[in-house]
Amino acid sequence: MQIYEYPDKAAWPALLQRPVMDTTALESSVGAILQHIRQDGDAAVRKYALQFDKVQLDGLQVTEAEFAHATAALDPALKQAILQAKQNIETFHRAQQEAGKIIETMPGVQCWRRSVAIERVGLYIPGGSAPLFSTILMLGIPARIAGCREVVLCTPSDAAGQVHPAILFAARQVGIDQVFKIGGVQAIGAMAYGTGTVPKVYKIFGPGNQYVTCAKQLVNKDGVAIDMPAGPSEVAVLADESCVPAFVAADLLSQAEHGPDSQVLLVTTAREVISAVQQEVRVQLERLPRRDIAARALEHSRLVLMPDMQAAMDLLNAYAPEHLIIACKDDITLADSVINAGSVFLGNYSPESAGDYASGTNHTLPTNGHARAYSGVSLDSFVKKITFQRLSREGLQQIGPAIEAMAAAEGLEAHRRAVSLRIINNE
């Protein structure tokens, strides 16, 4: 981990740079796979499953028997944990529902807005080095609450053609029955374009590696909506002398173990915090099963000493982290200064893992600085906001002159006449 002390503001862009990779060759290879999926459908999906996942798939869709076997095989304690997380996530996302309200902008002119579910959505759930069944809860629950008519889930199988039982159990708990054993780029292509087996969807959600991310961006250019631009996972921790260094180190490592391209950032105003956290990272790293992955991520991670909390918050807002932990005595006050972040965790007892799994907030969040303009997934991600209006005869007569004047000024005579004809005919 690299240490920076009191960096000049001119050096911040370089200090806050994420790991960068050249995507030119990646886009070419991913684009070719997508085109093959678009042309040959299921046959292409099977070809790439064999090539990349080393599995010969006879049937692409998970059967009812496989769902039943997964439920029976899963550890009861894990089932209970999933159900607890499900309850909390449902509670938080149901509270995001909005009641429609009619606004009368002037007498006789009524406007309102209604949330309408996206009819078909696709969820991608990685299943490689870590089967992310928690993401099914984060995406499937708001999709169901929103009222999406059709939810399609794609996830890779193992070499024996089996999907991890926790993934199937979680899918069944949130009411997803269409689960397909398809991973990687071929999964994104199948949901984007449709195949003989997989339905075409209107919006695709879910995390993935650089290939999946590239595929999502490319199908987005073809008119398929995606949840957000995404990149490697990241966490920033703001800590003062009141922090518990062991907790901070654990939070940094919990993000670093996602992948070698993940990034962690510690910002502090206390020099002693840096040395204490470094020591804890070294100790805890040796105990991790994924220590090699975490160690590689730590190579491009940073520890930054800042002169005061205002400067520290300015630096963090410039970074716009996916996850921001504020382990400070004034955490509530400092939270008011957060402008750019995907999700914020306050105090010494709010690990980022809580949001990843079970507190209730969504863990599908903008990365790579996109938190400057994007929000994390919420109920709103699964709906469209459609506006409505109704004008009475009297309402149009009152607002008509303003419309006519503006249309005439823009040189749009048909727009003006659409109003004036109605007013004339009603006189």
Binding residue positions for substrate: 233, 255, 258, 323, 356, 410, 415
Catalytic residue among 322, 352, 363, 370: 322
Long-range contacts of 13-19 (CB under 8 A, 24+ apart): 15/302, 15/304, 16/265, 16/315, 16/318, 16/319, 18/231, 18/232, 18/234, 18/263, 18/368, 18/369, 19/232, 19/261, 19/263, 19/300
Known binding residues are 124, 186, 209, 233, 255, 258, 323, 356, 410, 415
Known binding residues for NAD(+) are 124, 186, 209
93 catalytic residue (yes or no): no
Which amino acid, residue 186?
Q
CA distance 237 to 328: 10
Known binding residues for Zn(2+) are 255, 258, 356, 415
CA distance 325 to 346: 6
Catalytic residue among 323, 352, 363, 370: 323
Contact 156/125 with Cβ under 8 angstroms? Answer: no
Which residues are known catalytic residues? 322-323
